[in-house]
Chain A
Amino acid sequence: MSIVASDLIFFSVASVPTDDVSTTGGAIDLTSRVALTQFGANAKLALVSDGADARTVAIVGRLADGTVATEAALALNGVTEVLSVNTYERILSITLSAGSGTRTVTAKQGSGGSTVATFPVNDIKRHIQFQRSTSESGTATRYEKQFGKNTNGANALLNAQVTLTADPAANIQIGLATAVNDTVTVANRKTAPSSVTFVDDGVAQSVPGTDLASGGTIGTWIQQILSANAAATRSTFTLQFAGATT
């Protein structure tokens, strides 16, 4: 069966740092994705499942005053919406206590608001990258990782490419691993992964070997460069994972 867009998914990795000293990267984590739409205004996080569901949810976010707050175990109530206690300026991560083979959970900006994340079956976590990263007196460069995976069960993605297509803050470059299906880790997010060349949104990068086999993954390192004493930002970047199919 031909590959369709929904077969091409970016997943997160085993080690997602929230500081500058923890291990970064590693193998693909098929239960986690860097896919979290930020709020348009300060709001409580609303969570709802599509059926009986008693899992708990851990929320990490910034409050209006900038402090980071955690709600460790907000209990889902099936198809009845539940609200976070805190009102957040931004969400850093949402983590379900366990995967479910049947239930889909939706996270929204406030009660009945717009969807900021959807957890399909077996998914556990949504998060942003470069959490709690700050500018410094000199240029601060950090590296985190994602994986593009061709989840089609039969077909290779032909002429596979990964491209940074949007970077409004102009502080992101991306670099592909020099081999597919890697598990490379770096000591911390301020350590550059070896042999990885980074480019901006003006360049399309092809996956090593040109085609990405069924089930294949391509490690994609994200480089964030914050200039000296840069002002605070809450921005986004967009990756495109594309190719041809038969």
Chain B
Amino acid sequence: MKRSEAVAQIRSVERRCRGPHVMTVAAAVTLLAAAIDRDRATKASFLADKENDPDALPAPLMGDDHDAPWFDEAFEKTLLGCASTRDVATALLEIGQNPAAAFVDTVARGKGCGFDVNALIAAGPFNGEPANVACPKCKTVIRFTPAIYEIDLDDPQRHSGDPGPIDPTSEV
């Protein structure tokens, strides 16, 4: 079979990483700004926006745009050092901003990492051998075992580790 056919079969089952939710630092700052300004970005609409289009974040509300004095330059640096969205929530808890922490934690728990694990599977050989690969997004180690697909030898997309078709005339 063609490798593209095998990939299509793999993708018939969507697989998403369940590791911790991770955002870009800019998105984390935006998330927090939205969290502390419920009038302009309510929890419900913010989550809906995130669900529909993760890139369509509301504009950051920094500096004079909101009245949260604790959201200063020093705290922003703390956020930029966070590895995951849950870490952002923890940082908020540590300074006593419980409502904002709860909001951020809800986002983190509700969405998870969400990386397309099929992309990892499709990048490797279809040899039936167990593999351990770190999620490129959240670094969680994912264990998987691809199905065995015999890929045509002349398929330009063939992976060097793919099994080839069995020759019915060969002796073993």
Quick check: B145 and A176 within 8 Å, CB to CB?
A: no
Number of A-B contacts (CB under 8 A): 73
Quick check: B12 and A199 within 8 Å, CB to CB?
A: no
Q: Which of A198-234 contact B (CB under 8 A)?
A: 198-208, 210, 223, 225
Contact of B12 among A200, A204, A208 (CB under 8 A): A208
- The complex places the Cα of A74 from the Cα of B165 at a distance, in Å, of 53
* A178 within 8 Å of B (CB atoms): yes
Quick check: B145 and A198 within 8 Å, CB to CB?
A: yes
- The complex places the Cα of A175 from the Cα of B144 at a distance, in Å, of 9
Quick check: B19 and A202 within 8 Å, CB to CB?
A: yes
In the bound complex, residues from chain B placing their C-beta under 8 Å from that of A204 are 15-16, 18, 112
Name B143's closest neighbour in chain A (CB-CB).
A200
Q: When each residue 9-35 of chain B gets 1 if its CB lies under 8 Å from chain A and 0 otherwise, what string results? A: 110111111110000000000000000
In the bound complex, residues from chain A placing their C-beta under 8 Å from that of B15 are 197, 199, 203-206
Count contacts on A: residues with CB < 8 A to the other chain: 25
* A196 within 8 Å of B (CB atoms): yes
* B110 within 8 Å of A (CB atoms): no
Name B19's closest neighbour in chain A (CB-CB).
A202
Contact of A203 among B9, B10, B12, B18 (CB under 8 A): B18
Quick check: B9 and A201 within 8 Å, CB to CB?
A: no
* A163 within 8 Å of B (CB atoms): yes
Quick check: B14 and A202 within 8 Å, CB to CB?
A: no
Quick check: B142 and A200 within 8 Å, CB to CB?
A: yes
Quick check: B19 and A206 within 8 Å, CB to CB?
A: no
- The complex places the Cα of A79 from the Cα of B19 at a distance, in Å, of 48
Contact of A197 among B13, B19, B135 (CB under 8 A): B13
In the bound complex, residues from chain A placing their C-beta under 8 Å from that of B146 are 197
- The complex places the Cα of A196 from the Cα of B10 at a distance, in Å, of 8
Q: When each residue 98-120 of chain B gets 1 if its CB lies under 8 Å from chain A and 0 otherwise, what string results? A: 00000000000000100001000
In the bound complex, residues from chain A placing their C-beta under 8 Å from that of B18 are 163, 201-204
- The complex places the Cα of A228 from the Cα of B81 at a distance, in Å, of 42
Known: A206-B15, A208-B12. 7 other contacts (CB 8 A): A195-B149, A197-B144, A198-B144, A202-B19, A202-B143, A203-B144, A208-B13
> Residues on A close to B: CB < 8 A?
163, 173, 175-176, 178-179, 192, 194-208, 210, 223, 225
Pick 22 A–B contacts, CB within 8 A, sort by A. Answer: A163-B18, A173-B143, A178-B12, A179-B12, A192-B148, A194-B148, A195-B9, A197-B146, A198-B145, A199-B15, A199-B142, A202-B141, A202-B143, A203-B15, A203-B16, A203-B142, A203-B144, A204-B16, A204-B18, A206-B14, A208-B12, A210-B14
- Please name the 10 residue pairs, one residue from A and one from B, whose CB atoms are nearest each other, closest first: A206-B14, A200-B143, A198-B145, A199-B144, A202-B142, A208-B12, A176-B13, A178-B12, A203-B117, A204-B16
